[in-house]
Amino acid sequence: MIWRRILVSSDTTIEDLHYIIQLAMGWSNIHLHHFIIYGKQYGITQPGGTVFSDRASEVKLASFGWRIKEKFLYEYDFSICPSMGTWRYWWRHQIRVEAILAQNPKQIYPVCIAGKKVCPPENCGGPWGFMKTKEEFFIFDVLERFASMVRNGNFDMDREEAACMLTWLLVYQNRFDRHKVNQLLQQYTTGDRESLFFEQEIE
């Protein structure tokens, strides 16, 4: 199971939580998303997506009156299925309220305190697409490709292909880098969001 444990402050907004999850999972905010909390959808309105009745930047987590062990959903990367005319969701995350703690004045929030496994590439088509693509990028084939390039001195590979192969090497390595996540979260906290995400939001 791939998971992250994150401490957030009570005044964290739905907008913030979306970006926090993106950074914790190693994703880039390139797809539509929403939260489903107590049966209602929340999220950041984007072109071609749902228009939410509440502004994500104004809805704070504290307003929900959470109780320990409560759960809600975060769904990411979805589109209309042409054959069925319904929404198709590629990534579905269950968010759990594990504890409600007193805020530590010396702690900078948000902070990731634990996690396990590297998250699949966000653009691979969900769990099913991930398994299929993982077979296509079998680790030994990827390593053999790199070894062949080194042996022959042929490094004729475009950036996109190189980035794709590097991504799958990291997937097979499967090491969650909590330190890197916290660096990104700290960068987000300082207000440097534009350099972290490619955004197309409707204000």
| For the chain, percent of residues with pLDDT exceeding 90 | 49
Lowest mean pLDDT, pick from 70-74, 115-119, 167-171: 167-171
16 has a pLDDT exceeding 70: yes
Q: Hey, which residues does 91 pair with through a beta bridge?
A: 76
Cβ pair 126, 15 in contact under 8 A: no
Average pLDDT score, the chain: 82
CATH architecture of 1-117+176-203: Roll (3.10)
Can you point out the beta strands (E) in 11-145?
33-37, 40-42, 71-81, 86-96, 111-116
Cα torsion 64, 35, 193, 53 to 10°: value is -80
Cβ pair 42, 59 in contact under 8 A: yes
Please report, as a single letter, which amino acid is at residue 86: T
| Structure token digits, residue 135 | 């077979």
Structural domain spans, the chain: 1-117+176-203, 118-174
Sign of CA dihedral 42, 44, 46, 52: positive
pLDDT digits (tens, 9 = 90+) for 67-103: 999 999 999 987 655 555 555 667 899 999 999 999 9
- Spatial distance between the Cα atoms of 167 and 169, rounded to a whole number of angstroms: 5
Q: What is the pLDDT of residue 82?
A: 52
Please report, as a single letter, which amino acid is at residue 25: M
Local structure of residue 69 (DSSP, 8 states): T
Confidence (pTM): 0.77
